[in-house]
């Protein structure tokens, strides 16, 4: 008879096991790409990710007969933070082998921890936050794996539903294939005199990205603060990733749109690092890091993802907001002329966010993946 043991992911050994577990379980599965251990460390280490100052949290790993077979985390936001229309109690980072008992024991452990702290409703997965990796993959298992997008096997959503979890929200990701039409397109908005004077589009300064941070964070939070599950993206959180962005973001990867001299929208497109990291199997040391640096500098990337985007709330339901959005699309097309990227992913649009979905679908983008946020009464 096998024994399943759930233990806290405390201490260095268990923490490292927690971080690398998905690539151990899912290695070789279509649609999965191994994540870099070092990147996972910065995401989940409480001393490195400022998110953990906003929550009380605990993570666990599962062993069966001495082998790693699963993991889960739970958290409760501090009293002064309430996610928009969602619970302060959340679970995340649920990964497991195809075993109903393992999933049942993992979720029961997280639920018990939350109940002991007076929580009555849980949402998730948030891994570890709404500003990191959100939802469980329920469609698009074989799609091209994309940077910072979680992958799960088909059985996992079925098993969590067997534990009493039901859909709270679906998040849509779109695939847009860049064509010759895009690269040959001429700007229309910026060619019109009335907008050429009012609109300014500039490239984000990679060397001074930190000086841009306050503006980017302000626009992002203003843009998304009415979205379900929203929690403010802090300046400190952005700064924790700013150094990495400077290394992986291409020179033309970020731009700001100003209207009448005021920053109103921005976008950041990142190359899909999975293109160049798959053979590293998550390991950067001792030889992976110099290989990665060389590849980032020299690789011709074919896919990428809009990692951050925002347009101020006040413009979203006005005609001028539509102009800003069209200018954004035109600028992306203009920059595609000098880019090797052929496939762009627009990720994590709430299913009921028609204001964002309609223009994306009108551009010709197709639904590529769906991630689901679940809920359960405790």
246 conformational bin, left if phi > 0, alpha if psi -120 to 50, beta if neither: alpha
| pLDDT at 240 > cutoff 70 | yes
Instruction: State what percent of residues in the chain have pLDDT above 70.
Output: 99
User: Do 163 and 272 sit in the same domain of this protein?
Assistant: no
pLDDT of residue 290: 79
* Same-domain status, 323 and 201: yes
Single out the residue in 169, 186, 208 at which a domain terminates. Answer: 169
The reply to whether 377 falls in a domain is no
DSSP secondary structure string for all residues of 83-148: -TTS-SEEEEEEEE-S-HHHHHHHHHHHHHHHHHTT--EEEE-EES-TTSEESEEEE-TTSPP-TT
What confidence score (pLDDT) does residue 151 get?
Answer: 97
Task: Tell which of 115, 149, 169 closes a domain.
Answer: 169
160 and 181 fall within a common domain: no
8 A C-beta contact, residue 368 and residue 175:
yes
Per-residue pLDDT tens for 89-130? 999 999 999 999 999 999 999 999 999 999 999 999 999 999
In a domain, 378, yes or no: no
Q: Is residue 193 part of a domain?
A: yes
Domain tally for the chain?
Answer: 2
Per-residue model confidence (pLDDT) at position 232: 95
pLDDT at residue 376 is higher than 70:
yes
Residues 165 and 184 in one domain: no
**Does 39 lie in the same domain as 129?**
yes
pLDDT at res. 193: 83
Q: How do residues 336-375 score in pLDDT, each as one tens digit?
A: 878 888 899 988 899 998 878 888 888 888 999 999 999 9
Coil, strand or helix at 280:
helix
Does some domain include residue 85? yes
Query: Beta 343-350 vs 303-311: how paired, if at all?
Result: parallel
78 with 205, same domain: the answer is: no
Residues 260 and 184 in one domain: yes
pLDDT at 24 over 90: yes
Identify the domain boundary among 169, 200, 228.
169
On whether both 151 and 227 belong to a single domain, the answer is: no
CATH number at residue 60: 3.40.630.30
Distance CA 131, CA 229 (A): 10
The whole-angstrom separation of Cα 152 and Cα 30 is: 11
SS3 132: coil
Please determine, for residue 225, whether its predicted confidence score (pLDDT) is greater than 80.
Answer: yes
Examine the domain organization and report whether 51 and 132 are in the same domain: yes
CA distance 306 to 313: 19
135 and 163 inside one domain: yes
* pLDDT one-digit tens code per residue, 130-181: 999 999 999 999 999 998 899 999 999 999 999 999 999 999 999 999 887 7
Provide the pLDDT confidence category of residue 197 given band limits of 50, 70 and 90.
confident
pLDDT for 49 beyond 70: yes
Structural tokens at position 268:
């950041």
pLDDT higher than 70, residue 285: yes
CA–CA separation, 191 vs 178, rounded Å? 22
Shared-domain flag, residues 240 and 160: no
In a domain, 231, yes or no: yes
Is residue 376 in some structural domain? Answer: no
Residue 1 has pLDDT above 70, yes or no: no
Alpha carbon distance 89, 97 (integer Å): 25
Q: What is the pLDDT of residues 288-322, one digit of tens each?
A: 777 887 887 778 888 999 888 899 998 887 888 88
Residues 269 and 327 in one domain: yes
**Range of 75's domain?**
4-169
């Amino acid at each position: 008879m096998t024994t399943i043991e759930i233990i806290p992911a405390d201490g260095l050994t268990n923490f490292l096991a927690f971080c690398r577990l998905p690539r151990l379980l899912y290695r070789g599965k279509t649609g999965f790409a191994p994540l870099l251990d070092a990147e996972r460390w910065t995401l989940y280490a409480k001393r490195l990710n400022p998110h953990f100052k906003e929550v009380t949290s605990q993570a666990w790993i599962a062993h069966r007969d001495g082998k790693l077979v699963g993991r889960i985390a739970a958290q409760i936001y501090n009293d002064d933070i309430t996610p928009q229309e969602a619970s302060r109690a959340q679970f995340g980072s649920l990964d497991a082998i195809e075993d109903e008992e393992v999933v049942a024991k993992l979720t029961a452990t997280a639920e018990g921890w939350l109940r002991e702290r007076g929580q009555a409703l849980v949402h998730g997965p948030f891994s570890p936050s709404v500003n990191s990796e959100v939802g469980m993959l329920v469609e698009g298992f074989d799609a091209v794996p994309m940077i910072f997008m979680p992958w799960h096997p088909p059985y996992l959503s079925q098993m969590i539903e067997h534990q009493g979890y039901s859909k709270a929200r679906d998040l849509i990701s779109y695939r847009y294939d860049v064509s010759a039409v895009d690269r040959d397109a001429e700007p229309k908005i910026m060619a019109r005199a009335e907008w050429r004077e009012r609109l300014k589009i500039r490239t984000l300064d990679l060397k001074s990205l930190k000086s841009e941070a306050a503006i980017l964070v302000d626009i992002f939070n203003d843009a998304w603060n009415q979205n379900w599950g929203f929690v403010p993206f802090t300046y400190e959180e952005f700064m924790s990733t700013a150094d990495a962005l400077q290394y992986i973001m291409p020179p033309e990867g970020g731009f700001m749109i100003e209207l009448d001299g005021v920053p109103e929208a921005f976008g950041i497109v990142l190359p899909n690092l999975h293109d160049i990291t798959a053979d590293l199997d998550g390991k950067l040391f001792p030889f992976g890091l110099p290989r990665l640096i060389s590849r980032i500098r020299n690789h011709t990337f074919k896919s990428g993802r809009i990692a951050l985007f925002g347009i101020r709330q006040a413009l979203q339901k006005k005609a001028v907001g539509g102009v800003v959005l069209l200018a954004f699309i035109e600028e992306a097309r203009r920059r595609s002329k000098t880019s090797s990227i052929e496939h762009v992913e627009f990720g994590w649009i709430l299913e009921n966010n028609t204001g964002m979905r309609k223009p994306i679908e009108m551009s010709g983008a197709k639904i590529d993946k769906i991630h689901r946020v679940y809920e359960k009464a405790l």
